[in-house]
């Protein structure tokens, strides 16, 4: 099967670099892009910052998360995060999985949900859902309890946590993964990455505000449902302005190579 256009591949490589530059991924974490109803693209098993060429790309089946080519290079064991989200939500075009240390604390603090508290992150709503791998482990105690999503069964459970929305999109574009990280969806590479960056920024703001509030016995004034919804609609094209800047930033750092 032929690879997609150079334009898409070039954008994908920049996306991997941007995620690393902004601390959303390190050696771990990954970005994918849907090519059609039946297949999606990811890089091979490597640090996103080092993705650079067509040889780094692997095309997978949405149906089962397996590569199209039998001799494909080694891929990520957690690719089922992506395949099952694409299977459940046909409107999703791009998925990011992150281990952001700014976000992880909210995945293990049930009394303090991650929620929108500044205008660029209205899409987070009033409580980001948290998926717990233990829900699957409880059904089958014989499973290896690594917290990793290494099967379609685990991926489908995670995808369900996003909730059914409209137009083939999930109700929640972001879901946290207990003690692991988070997953973020978008209708384009740019939007998925934008939401990742602003999710991490919102987490920093919320943690800082919680510290301030605790020092004086106060509380954090987060967005209500109407504010979160309206803020989300106001920034629906939130990647259009920053994307050229983000690309320029990674173009000028020698670590990142885009040979497409």
Strand partners, 175: 183
**Catalytic status, residue 78:** yes
Q: Exactly one of 7, 55, 66, 78 is catalytic; name it.
A: 78
Angle at 88 (CA atoms; ends 203, 163), nearest 5 degrees: 45
Place of tokens 């070039």: 10
- Give 182's contacts (C-beta < 8 A, 6+ positions apart): 97, 98, 100, 103, 107, 128, 174, 175, 176, 199
Distance of CA 189 to the CA centre of its chain: 10
Q: Count of alpha carbons within 13 Å of 58, Cβ hemisphere only?
A: 23
Q: Do residues 95 and 86 lie in contact, with contact meaning Cβ atoms separated by under 8 Å?
A: yes
Which residues are tagged catalytic? 78
């Amino acid at each position: 099967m032929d690879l997609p256009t150079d334009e898409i591949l070039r954008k994908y490589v920049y996306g991997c670099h941007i995620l690393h530059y902004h601390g959303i991924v390190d050696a771990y974490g990954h970005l994918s892009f849907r090519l059609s109803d039946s297949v999606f693209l990811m890089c091979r098993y490597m640090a996103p910052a080092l993705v650079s060429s067509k040889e780094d790309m692997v095309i997978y089946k949405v149906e089962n998360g397996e590569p199209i080519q039998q001799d494909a290079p080694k891929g990520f064991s957690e690719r089922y995060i992506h395949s099952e989200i694409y299977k459940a939500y046909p409107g999703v075009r791009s998925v990011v999985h992150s281990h952001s240390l700014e976000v992880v604390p909210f995945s293990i603090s049930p009394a303090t949900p991650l929620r929108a508290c500044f205008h660029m992150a209205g899409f987070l709503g009033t409580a980001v859902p948290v998926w717990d791998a233990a829900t699957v482990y409880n059904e089958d105690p014989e499973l290896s309890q690594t917290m990793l999503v290494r099967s379609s069964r685990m991926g489908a459970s995670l995808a369900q946590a996003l909730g059914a929305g409209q137009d083939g999109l999930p109700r929640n574009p972001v879901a946290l993964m207990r003690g692991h990280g988070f997953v973020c969806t978008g209708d384009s590479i740019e939007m998925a990455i934008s939401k990742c960056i602003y999710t991490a920024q919102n987490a920093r703001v919320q943690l800082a505000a919680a510290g301030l509030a605790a020092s004086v016995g106060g509380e954090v004034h987060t967005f209500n449902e109407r504010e979160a919804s309206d803020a989300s609609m106001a920034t629906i094209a939130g990647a259009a302005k920053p994307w050229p800047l983000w690309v320029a930033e990674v173009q000028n750092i020698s670590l990142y190579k885009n040979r497409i």
